[in-house]
Amino acid sequence: MTNANCAAPLIPREKLFGNPTRAAGQISPDGKWLGWLAPRDGVLNIWMAPSADSSAAKPMTNSTDRPIRQYFWAPDSRSLLYIQDKGGDENFLLYGVDVATGAERTLTPFEDTRVMLVGDSTSQKGRLLVGLNNRDPRLHDVHLLDLNTGELTLVLENEGFAGFLADDNLDLRMAVRPNAEGGMDYFDIADGKIAAEASGGTGLEDSLTTSPAGYTSDGKTLYWIDSRGRDTAALVAIDTETGESRILAENPQADIGGTLRHPVTGVVEAYSVNYLRTTWTAIDPAIKASLDFLEANLEGDFSVISRTDDDTMWVVSNDPLIAPAKTWLYDRKKGELTEFYTSRPDLVGAPLQPMHTLEIRARDGLVLPSYLTLPPGSDSKGDGVPDAPVPMVLLVHGGPWARDGYGFNPNHQWLANRGYAVLSVNFRGSTGFGKNFISAADLEWGKKMHDDLVDAVNWAVSTGITPAEKIAIMGGSYGGYATLAGLTFTPDAFACGVDIVGPSNLETLLATIPPYWEPLVAQFHQRMGNPNTPEGLAMLKERSPLQSADNIKRPLLIGQGANDPRVNQAESDQIVSAMKDKGIPVTYVLFPDEGHGFAKPANNIAFNAIAENFLATCLGGRAEAIGETLGKSTASIVEGADYVQGLDAAAGN
């Protein structure tokens, strides 16, 4: 281990990135059962127990390779449903497990097919509407699925629509189709027939901030998250008979984020806003009383993640930030909280650090909501500024149409524990802060979007967070692109970079998007650049780090999944090859059984072991030895093992 001015014990990677003890707890709609994810022979599987006795648990699935990461209860409580792909290819199929018998079946038994949920019902609990792209990989046809017999019945053959909305009767009511401007057009559906003319729509500017949010169960109200005519998206209710529209909630700083809706009626009872932190506001008095009770009895942030149909029992997730997250059962009748589980009990007592919320101003005045975590023992005043500057990792989120948020973040805790300040910036283009914030990034990949990151770095240096020569840039997907952009377009700004599944060539990225994203390609072209025009193609080439690979002069670590359908392996291969041709050092780690990110804990831990030793080599922070992590993973060190401390030996070279 390298030396660093930090007395706190190292938190083992396994405790942060290994399997949780339990996760994703949910209660069945009828209240009789609890479900959760937990390891079975080292792989996350679905477990179940009676709600009256969570200790009487039994596994319901037996995945022996990839972890199950998403599951949900069937509306009739008779089965557990989950989706799973193969090797990270994102062709997710739907599986069901009978609660009574434990029998499992593949409910969408097709090859090279990705399922999407179109609608569920509180009145027809044994059936779902699902979309399947087995006929045409670009388009999802709508089918009615009987969960208990497995029968699939075609409801509508898709002729160019990106999505559909159904009511509680499982009748399709709306179709959504992209338009040439990069927005969406909305078409009413009656008696199974789609209207010839759109009833409404959006242009590009509202395309990511406006969408229908579902009907009440009686079909009389349609909710929207809607930014049309305003900047931040409001919660709007429309009377489906009269067309009358009412604004239920809006906020000048951030979009309306989530809602709590009655599990049977579908009526919105509370809504959330997430600017720097998430706040909930209740519309229904009884829900307000329950949220007030939880606020008074739980430390830190909480969210309601599951409710029974009679709404007497809730499953509540609680994030204290500087302690491992807990999940509780909340009996609303009794006014009692019972601990369900702690996700990572091994982190109890670990030196977890607080997260500081920030507003950083970009050079053109745009305010960037951001988050900072400092190393343990570095900030004796607790004011968010270390007593002396420390090395820093700029951790860039993916998307880019996504966002960073407040709360327990294993990457923040891991890197801070190793001796680094960790800064995450919601650069322009991030979602949640209104449509103008998103639109400010249009055609600005590698330009103003990157300027925001550089401005945040300059703020950190001028504030005394970090010395200018001790800053790394790191991220996945778009964050990987930002890493490559940082080392090519601003080669003196960063001491090193860690790129995880990041695109190096925007032209080839757009040429190889998954077929089911094809309906959205007009929006990609409007926001990134259109390769079908000479100007657009020239811009995409200019903004592609691959074209400037010979500018790189600082160490680079790349991690890639061989089965990534979004950012193909060629994106990493290309820039590694270009760097080798120029004699520029690069370390390249390839995982043959992963896709867009590393789902298997052993693979994630192995890459992080390499990454923290890479950062220690470049910035001088602390590192837990790589040890046996490589041997427990499928990692292949394609290039540059000798550029990372301990990697050559760990790889058996």
- Percent of the chain whose pLDDT exceeds 90: 96
CB-count exposure of residue 649 (10 Å: 0-12, 13-18, 19+): exposed
For residue range 345-369, list pLDDT tens digits in order: 999 999 999 999 999 999 999 999 9
Q: What pLDDT score does 6 carry?
A: 62
Looking at residue 7, what is its pLDDT?
A: 78
pLDDT of 48-98, one tens digit each?
A: 999 999 889 999 999 999 999 999 999 999 999 999 999 999 999 999 999
CA distance 382 to 354: 9
What are phi and psi for residue 451, nearest 5 degrees? -60, -40
Which two three-digit tokens encode residue 610?
Answer: 């390499």
Residues comprising the chain, all counted: 653
- Preceding amide of 400 cis, omega within 30: yes
Distance from CA of residue 338 to its chain's centroid?
A: 29
CA 306 to CA 24: how far, in whole Å?
10
Percent of residues, the chain, with pLDDT higher than 70: 99
Tokens of 459: 């703020």
Q: What is residue 648's predicted lDDT score, i.e. its pLDDT? A: 92
In whole angstroms, give the CA distance from residue 91 to residue 526. 27
Smallest CA-to-CA distance from 394 within 458, 322, 477 is with: 458
**What is the C-alpha separation between 314 and 262, in angstroms, rounded?**
12
Q: How many CB atoms lie within 10 A of CB 652?
A: 9
The answer to whether 519 and 162 have CB atoms below 8 angstroms apart is yes
pLDDT at 54: 84
pLDDT score, position 2: 36
Place of tokens 């938190």: 11
Region 286-300: what's the mean pLDDT? 97
Q: Kindly report the number of other CB atoms within 10 A of residue 430's CB atom.
A: 24
523: closest CA among 368, 398, 401? 401
Res 556: pLDDT? 97
Q: List the beta bridge partners of residue 357.
A: 371
pLDDT (tens digit, 9 = 90+) per residue, 177-209?
999 899 999 999 999 999 999 999 999 999 999
C-alpha to C-alpha distance for 405 and 273, rounded to whole angstroms: 12
CB 70 within 8 A of CB 37: no
Across 4-18, 138-152, 586-600, least confident range: 4-18
pLDDT higher than 90, residue 454: yes
Q: Name the E strands within 332-412.
A: 336-342, 355-361, 367-373, 392-396
Given the residues 356, 499, 596, 633, select the one marked as catalytic.
596
Q: Which of 599, 600, 614, 601 is nearest to 650 (CA)?
A: 614
Contact 128, 145 (CB under 8 A): yes
- Per-residue confidence at 372, pLDDT binned at 50, 70, 90? very high
Active-site residue identified among 564, 572, 593, 633: 564
Taking the C-alpha atoms of residue 372 and residue 393, their distance in angstroms, rounded to an integer, is 10
405-419 tens-digit pLDDT: 999 999 999 999 999
Q: Which of 372, 366, 367, 441 is nearest to 400 (CA)?
A: 441
Give the SS3 label for residue 515: helix
Sheet holding 127-136, edge to edge: 115-119, 127-136, 139-146, 152-156
Question: Among candidates 427, 584, 575, 555, which has minimal Cα distance to 497?
Answer: 555
- How would DSSP label each residue in 78-131? SEEEEEE-STT----EEEEEETTT--EEESS--SS--EEEEE--SSSTTEEEEE
Residue type, 593: D
> Which residues neighbour 493 within 8 Å (Cβ) at sequence distance 6 or greater?
454, 457, 471, 473, 486
- Segment 484-498 mean pLDDT: 98
DSSP 508: H
pLDDT of residue 1: 34
User: Are the C-beta atoms of residues 495 and 618 closer than 8 Å to each other?
Assistant: yes
Q: What is the mean pLDDT of residues 431-436?
A: 98
Return the H-helix or E-strand segment holding 294.
Answer: helix 285-297
How would you list the strands of the sheet with 268-274, edge to edge? 256-261, 268-274, 278-282
Provide the edge-to-edge strand list for the sheet that holds 23-27.
23-27, 33-40, 43-50, 58-59
The whole model's pTM is what?
0.96
Asked if residues 595 and 88 have their Cβ atoms less than 8 Å apart, the reply is: yes
Pairing relation of β-strands 421-425 and 392-396? Answer: parallel
Residue-averaged pLDDT of the chain: 96
**Active-site residue flag, 596:** yes
| DSSP summary character for residue 365 | S
pLDDT at res. 3: 37
What is the Cα–Cα distance from 408 to 412, expressed in whole angstroms? 8
pLDDT in the model for residue 653: 67
Residues 267 and 261 sit within 8 Å (Cβ to Cβ):
yes
pLDDT band of 518, cuts 50, 70, 90: confident
Q: Are the beta carbons of 402 and 431 closer than 8 angstroms?
A: yes
pLDDT at 4 over 60: no
Active site (annotated) includes residue 564: yes
Angle between helices 601-619 and 410-417 (to 10 degrees): 40
d(CA 173, CA 189): 5
- Specify whether the CB–CB gap between 456 and 423 falls below 8 A: yes
CA atoms within 13 A on the CB side of 383: 8
CA distances from 180 to 203, 458, 602 (A): 9, 39, 44
The active-site residue out of 477, 504, 544, 572 is 477
Rounded CA-CA distance 84/90 in Å is 8
Answer whether residue 641 shows pLDDT above 70: yes
